[in-house]
Structure formats: structure tokens, C-alpha cells
Amino acid sequence: MHPFNVLSTKILQFAMIFGPFLMVIAMLLISPQQQLLGSLEGTNLFLRSIAGEPGAWYMSHVAMLFAALIFPLAFIGLYRSLIPCNFWFGVAGVVFGYVGAVLLCGQIALDFVYGALVANNGDLDAAQSMRQMIFDASTIQVAFNTVANIGLLLGWVIAAVMSLIYRVPNRLFGILVLLGWLTIILLHGKIPYIEAVGHGMMAAAMILAVRKQNQ
């Protein structure tokens, strides 16, 4: 194999493992803010939880941002072994994953804005008004929240379904990915650190995929 191909393969495989791993780290870091959010009562709960745990908010979102920047490479590394099985299905998965990752960066940028609004004991009512203005802008809401999350979900789920059908890398990969997403979707906010567990399943699936590629 040409040295350039070897290098590109290693870079893609590094992204496949490191992207999901960063999401695990992000979910562990953000847990204090999530737990505080669940314990608060009254108004402006979301912004008050950020103000109460600013370190958890910022550090977790730094990890999320790096993960979002890495995910396009991770999807290329994953789908290069799936596209030969079904070209159009594979291309659709890459496109959805790409769009989701790019728009996720916008969502994270908005989260940094929310953190800045409540920094230095800022006026929570004014911050909430600004946040509501952002939510009222339907294009921003749809693109950075709905489309971003659906795109990433479909990027992962299409790969999982293809692995179950074509056994590439194998069916265990698909099972781990689907279990990971079901854990996140169904148990989000109900059990501490459960999002980290869900992303951990997907990280394990990616490690499995890299191992299969290297065999």
C-alpha cells in the first residue's frame, strides 16, 4: 500500500475512535450541570444551571466541538467499507452525517453564547429574553437543533442498518450503535451519566470497526 494511503487510513481510523470518545468525555463533563438542572425550581432553569456550573458547561462543549469537527472524517472512515455494499445507501449515510456534524458546530456555538449571557452574574431575565429571540428565529431552531440532531442520528443509524444487512464490519457494530442511541433517546436526563454510557457503546462500536478494517 502507498505510504500516503497508509497515512490517510490511520488519520481516518484515529477520527473514528477519537470522535465518539470525545463525546463520552463531554457527557461526563456536563453531568454536574445536568444534575443541577434537574434539582432547580422556579424560572430560567436552563440558564441558572449554566450559571451554577459554568466550568462543566464550557469544558463539555469544548469537547463536543472537537468531536463535531472530527466526525466528518470519522464518517468517511466508517463508510468507506460500507459504500461498496450499497453505494446510494452509503452515500446517504455520509451526507446525513456530514450535515449533522456541521450544523452541530452551530448548535454548540449557540450554547457558548448562552454561557456568555450568564457569565459574571449577568441578568438572567435579559439572558432568557435573548435566548427566546434565538428560539423564535425558526430557521436557527430548525437548522441547529432539529436538522443537526436528525442528521447525526441518521448518519449513525444508516451505518448500523447496513452492518446488520451486509455484516460489514459485522452485526455487533450495528447492535452497539442502535443500543447506544436508544439508551440516549429513551433515558436522557433520567439516569446520571447515561448519555456517556450511550456514547460509550458507539465508541466501542467504532473501535470494533477499526479492528475489522485492520484485519
| Ranges of the chain whose pLDDT falls below 50 | 1-4
Within 41-139, strands assigned E span: none
Task: Pick the closest to residue 114 from 167, 37, 184, 188 (CA basis).
Answer: 37
Residues 6 or more apart in contact with residue 136 via CB below 8 angstroms: none
Residue 144 CB burial class (10 angstroms; 0-12, 13-18, ≥19): buried
The C-alpha cell of 207 is what? 473501535
Which pLDDT score is estimated for 3? 46
pLDDT for the residue 120:
63
DSSP for 54-122 reads HHHHHHHHHHHHHHHHHHHHHHHHHHTTTTTT-HHHHHHHHHHHHHHHHHHHHHHHHHHHHHHHTTTT-
CA distance 76 to 142: 25
Question: Which pLDDT tens digit goes with each residue over 148-180?
Answer: 999 999 999 999 999 999 999 999 999 999 999
Place of cell 459504500: 83
Question: How is the chain split into domains, by residue range?
Answer: 7-214
DSSP 170: -
Residue 2 has a pLDDT of: 45
- Rounded-to-integer distance, Cα 64 and Cα 24, Å: 9
In the structure grid, which three cell numbers stand for residue 112, read together?
Answer: 457558548
* Local structure of 40: helix, strand or coil: coil
Distance CA 33, CA 60 (A): 10
Cα–Cα distances in Å, from 136 out to 9, 50, 98, 132, 141? 43, 21, 26, 6, 8
